A and B are shown apart, each in its own frame.
Chain A
């Protein structure tokens, strides 16, 4: 193959991801929120460990219910955690695919089963926590 002139390959304009990319669409924003929920959850776990350590100093000296900031923060984190769980479980229908009696199980059935399992697990764990707490 011979060429008519030496043409340098023209300069392409490279792609640069803008720093504010995640503000450019609703989907991206809520995706980042979803991923971000890991941060407050981690902080909450650390705080919980602190509270546990404090409680280990004896029931007389521990008053978790008085710790209003902890309760408020816990509620906020609960909301984040619920959002994360909700989005995660909703996606289960697209990841898991089963066949029952040769017909594929529909995505909505799978998702509902995940939420049902979540509700049951939450119920069981909640029951034990209350029962043990007595």
Chain B
């Protein structure tokens, strides 16, 4: 029985030699039904072309390194099964909406900057001492923000968002979801400090609710919901500034 094979078209771009990115085709054995696109890339790098560059680490969908466009959809390549594409070819490209450093590697400086800008840490007027023990928090209180805390920073949502693609000043889905995670945490008192970044024109208001971010999120974070809820929140604070939750 002849072995199954599959075609992988991967973006290549070396700024030292290439003016533009271009696709390179590799034909590899499809030897196991549980193979994922990342396995295909690793096979290529290990046995066919060692110069193919891409990021990956945990291979179990938790580190967020291996996000790429697979046949036009942003996916974690460690979780995109070849069997879902075979016998068609698989086109692997770097995430949309980001500059390309090399091959399948994008520049994520902008994202790291935005992550920091929303002050993703617990802000309190008065820290309690360690000796006082933990803040009491119930399971229900954690449920308020749990979903938004599951973000693995894979940036598939930024790759899916046409608003970010058209205007990279936009704060974006993951950063807003993380801001909301802290704003909803019963231990945090930093909502006011995060508002300027959230409520500015390039903050949540740039979002026109395409909703694609939540569709592609591999962890069910639902950043679209976080953004719309933040819009409502910031509006209410503006309209009813007094007596509002701090």
Contacts and interface: CB of A to CB of B under 8 A. Distances in A.
Dominant SS among interface residues on chain A:
loop
B104 to A, nearest CB: 12
Contact of B97 (A15, A24, A35): A15
A94 B15 contact: no
Contacts of B215: 27
A91 B215 CA distance: 13
Contacts of B212: 25, 27-28, 31
B209 A10 contact: no
Contacts of A91: 209, 211, 228
Contacts of A13: 13, 15, 20-21, 99-100
Interface in A25-47: 25, 27-28, 31, 35
Contacts, number: 62
Nearest to B102: A10
Interface string B217-242: 00000101100110110000000000
Interface in A82-130: 91, 94-97, 102
Nearest to B165: A17
Nearest to A24: B72
Interface string B154-188: 00000000100110100000000000000000000
B228 A95 contact: yes
A121 B207 CA distance: 28
B112 interface: no
B145 interface: no
Nearest to A28: B162
Interface residues of B, number: 33
B166 to A, nearest CB: 5
A22 B212 CA distance: 12
Interface string B139-164: 01000000000000000000000100
A12 B96 contact: no
18 contacts: A12-B100, A13-B13, A13-B20, A15-B96, A15-B97, A15-B99, A15-B100, A17-B162, A17-B165, A22-B162, A27-B210, A27-B211, A94-B224, A94-B225, A95-B228, A95-B231, A95-B232, A97-B229
Interface of B: 13, 15-16, 20-21, 72-73, 96-102, 107, 140, 162, 165-166, 168, 208-212, 215, 222, 224-225, 228-229, 231-232
